[in-house]
Amino acid sequence: MTTKRKDSNLPSSVTVAFFGLLLALSLVLNIGIFLKLENSTPGISSDSSFPGVSQTTLKKKVENGKVWVELPDPIFDAYFLSDKTCKTCVDIDSMISNFERTYPTARIKPIDVSSNTGKELIDAGASVVPAIILSRSFQNIAAFPEVAQAGVVAPVGEKYYEYRTNGNKKILNENQLPVSMRGSDTLKIIGYTDFFSPESAAFSTVVPQIAAQFGNDISVENNAFVTDIPSAFIAEAVQCGVNMQTIIDTRDEYAAAIKKIAEGKKSLGDEELDQISTQLKQILGMDEATAACYDQHRYLEEVQRIAQEAQSLGINGAPAYFVGNRFLAGPQSAEVFSSAIAEVIEERKNNTSDQDKASEETIPEAKQVQKTEE
C-alpha cells in the first residue's frame, strides 16, 4: 500500500517539503544504505553469521598424513578494533569467530584503540568500536562484488575497508553524534523510538529508573522515529505536548483506526489521511490548545529536523539510543543503560584527570624556559 497526499490543509510552504522528506525516508528505509551505526539491517553481531560467503570450491590434498587445503581467495588483514573500557559494546570474540568461519583467508588481528595500530586506524577514518577494518586486498576475494553491492563494506581512507557491524558501539568521531550532544558537558541520552512498537515504547518505563539513579547528571530526550505519515502525526502530537503514556495506551486503537480507514484501498489520499489525523485527535483526547497546535502543524519543522538527523546518523530502525558517546541498538534494559551511563561518567572523569596532569606538567617547563632566558 502506498501513500500520497496533495496540499490539503497543510500550509503550502511546508507541505511539499514534509511529504517529500517522508518519501525520501521511505526509499532509504526500503533500499537500505551503508552506515556505521547500523542497528536493524543484516550485519555482523555476536550471534549472527556473515553475508557474502565465497562459493568457490576448496581444493584438498593429502601429503605426509596431513590434509592440505588450497583456498581460492587471497590472504587479507582483518583488524578487529575494540576498546576494553567499553563493557556495553558488542562481544568482539564472537565476531572474530564468525568472521573466521566466513572468510578463511582472513589474517585476524585484534587491535585495541590505545595501541599504535589502533591510533593509525582511527586516523585513517575508523569512527566506531568495535569495528572490522580490512586491508584493500579484501577486494580481490570472490565474494567482494556481492558484499560491496549489498553495502556491507565501505572505503576507509586509501588503505582500508570497513565491514559493517551491528550491535552496541562506542562512537569515536563526534560528527556521528546528534548535533545537540556534540561538545556538551551534560551527559545526554537521546532515543529514536517507534511509538507504534511496544519494545520502543518500553523506553518510557526505563527513564524513571535511570533518572532516579543518576538524577541531574543526565538529561533524556525521546524522539519519534518517523516511517510514514501516520507515524508523523504521532510525532507532531508528542511535540504538541501529548503525554507518552497516552500514546502507549492508545497505540492499538490508533492502529485499528488506520487499518479500518485503509481497508480495501490501494493507496491513501487526502480524504483518508485527514480521517486518520482526525481519528488520532479523538483517540488521544486532545484539549483545545493541544488540538490547535496539532492542526496548525507548529512542530512540523522540528519533526522534519529529527527525521533528517536520524537518517544522517544511520538510524534505519528503532529503537536506537545514544548515551553520551555510546550507541545502543535495539531494546535495552535499565541495567544496560545504567552500565553505559556509568562508563561514560568514568571515562569523562579520567579524561579530565589526564588533561589536568598534562597542564601541570607544562607549567614547570614554562618556568624553566623563563629562568633560562633570565
pLDDT tens, per residue, the chain with 374 residues: 444 444 434 444 444 444 454 444 444 333 332 334 444 433 333 444 444 444 444 566 666 777 766 778 999 999 999 999 899 999 999 899 999 999 999 999 999 999 999 999 999 999 999 999 999 999 999 999 999 999 899 999 899 999 988 899 999 999 899 998 998 888 999 999 887 777 776 788 888 899 999 988 899 998 888 888 888 999 999 999 998 889 888 989 999 999 999 998 888 888 999 999 999 999 999 999 999 999 999 999 999 999 999 989 888 888 999 999 999 999 999 999 999 999 999 999 987 765 556 555 555 555 555 555 55
CA–CA separation, 282 vs 280, rounded Å?
5
In order of their start, the domains of the chain are 59-165 (3.40.30)
CA–CA separation, 229 vs 272, rounded Å?
11
* pLDDT score of 368: 56
CA–CA separation, 166 vs 329, rounded Å?
8
CA–CA separation, 122 vs 240, rounded Å?
42
Q: Would you call 108 exposed, middle or buried from its count of C-beta atoms within 10 A (0-12, 13-18, 19+)? A: middle
Percentages of the chain per state (helix, strand, coil), in multiples of 5? 50, 20, 35
Buried b (16+ CB within 10 A) or exposed e, 233-243: bbbbbbbbebe
DSSP secondary structure string, 142-161? TTHHHHHHTT-EEEETTTEE
User: Bridge partners of 218?
Assistant: 187
Cell of 23: 518519501
- Report yes or no: 100 and 109 within 8 Å, Cβ to Cβ: no
Task: Report helix angle 288-295 to 229-239, nearest 10.
Answer: 130
Q: Which residue stretches of 125-191 are H helix?
A: 144-149
- Report yes or no: 62 and 76 within 8 Å, Cβ to Cβ: no
CA–CA separation, 286 vs 276, rounded Å?
14
pTM for the predicted model, two decimal places: 0.75
Question: How far out from the chain centre does Cα 169 lie?
Answer: 9
